[in-house]
Amino acid sequence: MSIQLSDILKDKQTIALGGHIRPDGDCVGSCMGLYMYLKEQYPNLETDVYLEEVPKAYQMIEKTDEVKHQIPADKQYDLFICLDCGDEKRLGFSAPLFSRAKQTLCIDHHVSNEAFADENYIVPDASSTSELVFRMIDSAKISRPVAEALYMGIAHDTGVFQYSCTSPETMEAAAELMRKGIDGNDIIDRTYYEKTYVQIQILGRALLESILILDKQCIVSVVDKKELEFYGADSSDLEGIVSQLRQTKGVEVAMFMYELESSQFKVSLRSKGKVDVSVIAKYFGGGGHARAAGFSMHGSSHDVINNVSRQIALQLDADN
């Protein structure tokens, strides 16, 4: 059962949309898809979209130049719609707008979602938040730019329609979006596969320096702050490294971590199915899905690897 957009918008004049910090393809796709749809179909509403940043590759999506990166001092929106975000803290700079809003709605597919809004539309087995936005809106009224944004989001969170979260409904949504005249291959090439030289170099380094632990069932790679500076890379240049690591034959879990600031690491986990990494991420204060999850953690890289691998080992042992 989907929720009705017309019910949600009843008696509302001002709407803010927001996603999580370090937004990924699904976060940008779902926010921009819904933003453009509201602008087109409800021109009398005042609608704004707030995102920490829009990574360069995703700027091919229309209207990303209208995204706001700062919040107004004391504006109170009638409704704040939070997309692809599992907890209030992860909204980052837009969190004060969320808590100030007269009403809040969360649309998300993270199993770890804390249902922290007034109304929550959480479907953990949906491929992506972009697919949930597709289900909420009138498909006959979807324009090409809206279709491009939602298609990008679905393609990203399904690993280009490969991950197990890709359902018949996902493919039906993608088919309907394709009929809106989008160039799906171009969107996938430019936002998912294409990498800058810096991204290629850091990917190569991460693969080369990776190690196998837990009887070769887990692959780990670390990039520290000095290396990021050496390559001139930032966090958005590291997307996709962990999925490459996960492809290693015989490995059950891939773990990629990079230094956010001195002795604080952002950890990404990917599983082939035996281990539920959302449980591990949640244990360390993060979240995500059974096969893809993440969190931040203080300590030396050595400590982080030790602590996380202990949790992975517990699940692997229980499975054997």
Binding site for ligand 5GP (CB under 6 A): 86-87, 90, 110, 112, 242, 268, 286-289, 292-296
Q: How far is C-alpha 319 from the geometric centre of its chain's CA atoms? A: 29
C-beta of 9 vs 95, nearer to ligand 5GP: 95
C-beta of 9 vs 304, nearer to ligand 5GP: 304
**What's the CA gap between 196 and 193, in Å, rounded?**
10
> How long, in residues, is the chain?
320
90: partner contacted, choices ligand 5GP, Mn ion, none (Cβ within 5-8 A by kind): ligand 5GP
C-beta of 9 vs 57, nearer to Mn ion: 57
Output the smallest distance, CB 288 to ligand 5GP, in A: 3
Output the smallest distance, CB 106 to ligand 5GP, in A: 12
Burial of residue 8 (CB within 10 Å: 0-12, 13-18, 19+) is: middle
C-beta of 33 vs 86, nearer to ligand 5GP: 86
**What's the CA gap between 296 and 22, in Å, rounded?**
13
How does strand 264-271 pair with strand 253-261? antiparallel
Quick check: 28 and 19 in contact, CB under 8 A? Answer: yes
- Two tokens, residue 39: 């602008």
218: partner contacted, choices ligand 5GP, Mn ion, none (Cβ within 5-8 A by kind): none
288: partner contacted, choices Mn ion, ligand 5GP, none (Cβ within 5-8 A by kind): ligand 5GP
292: partner contacted, choices ligand 5GP, Mn ion, none (Cβ within 5-8 A by kind): ligand 5GP
C-beta of 25 vs 33, nearer to ligand 5GP: 25
Quick check: 19 and 83 in contact, CB under 8 A? Answer: yes
**What's the CA gap between 80 and 76, in Å, rounded?**
9
Output the smallest distance, CB 143 to ligand 5GP, in A: 27
